[in-house]
Amino acid sequence: MESKACFGFSKPRFGLQFPASSTHLKHTQKLRELMGAVMNLNLPIFDQVAHCQNLLIAGMGGGFDLFCGLPIYFELQKRGQKAHLASFSFSDIVQFKAGIRLTNTLVGVDADYNHISPYFPELYLAQWFERKRNEAVKIWCFQKTGTRPLLKNYRLLVEHLSIDGILLIDGGVDSLVRGDEGQTGTLIEDATSLFVVNELNDIPTRLIACLGFGAEQDMTYAHIFENIAALTKNGGFLGACALTPQMEAYRAYEDAVLYVQNQPVQDPSVINSSIISAVQGNYGNYHLTEKTKGSRLWISPLMPLYWFFDLPTVAAHNLFLPHLRNTETFMEALQSFLSVRKQLRKRADGKVYLP
């Protein structure tokens, strides 16, 4: 049963309830008005991408990273700006028998595929666009490979779509890992995308957006804050903004995530579920999905924050990125990182101190 404090009464004292003050009632009414109002996503990078005729918004690693870029996509769409969607996918792109195939490891996935796939969030996203928004949107999916095939595919897609700007999307912050942190999370897919897009020097606008700070396990977050400080000092940090429930862009994003996660045998995204939980005002060990029950989460107001960075500056700070050159497979890229990691002097485990 809801507390009467929500309906014009103050907090009970000594078993009695007192009418709320007129000031409290005004604040309550104002809050209701704000929750019903529509807000825009205040993008600090809007000036950087405003000139792009064909912006590519691409998930750095895993099918659900792209979803973290959907609020940006919807906001730009509302402003009349054209953008395309891509993903460094965890699905078996080589064996996928539909869509528009540009290479054996690059395919444009659309909604015209009705077979159940055990893990294919990009496919279900394309179907969500068609069924919920009546839009035919292709999701360009890269097979999870090493840097050499991925670079070839990126160059082909850039030419195919006349791309003049790339915004890489990281669900989490492991794209900011340098390599000498205490813990580094699951960074190889993100680093592979980072290496490849950093090689595309003819693309004038190359940016990174991180969303879901604190949602990843096995990450030394004090070192991530230290990395952000170093990037800021070198002009690589471009600003931040937050998702709120009042934003149309956020509401569409939430609807897309929940739609895809409710598809048969589709594994849910811990990071996107954590972001939604935080935007909804939950905190601490809150679980939106059954997948995380039994583990401990730390849902916090940091998770709805976008952090934007200049991609070449992030790449220049990375200590192992050059060693990923010419890798053919994901395992080669992983082994290259592990080899370099052994030689790096690790920073002392850090703690985040807040008063």
What pLDDT, in 10s, does the model give residues 228-279? Answer: 999 999 999 999 999 999 999 999 999 999 999 999 889 899 999 999 999 9
- Return the structure tokens found at 280: 């909804």
Q: Would you say 273 and 261 are in contact if contact means Cβ atoms under 8 Å apart? A: yes
Query: pLDDT class for 57, splitting at 50, 70, 90?
Result: very high
Where b means 16+ CB within 10 Å and e means fewer, 43-72 reads bebeebbeebeebbbbbbbbbbbbbbbbbb
Q: How far apart are CA 117 and CA 96, in angstroms?
A: 10
Element housing 191 (H / E): helix 188-199
| Number of C-beta neighbours around residue 203 at 10 A | 17
Rounded to the nearest integer, the mean pLDDT of the chain is: 89
Reported as a single tens digit per residue, the pLDDT across 117-161 is: 889 999 999 999 999 999 999 999 999 999 999 999 999 999 999
Beta strands at 106-109 and 139-142: parallel, antiparallel or unpaired: antiparallel
Q: How far apart are CA 106 and CA 109, in angstroms?
A: 9
What is the number of H-type helices and E-type strands within the chain? 11, 9
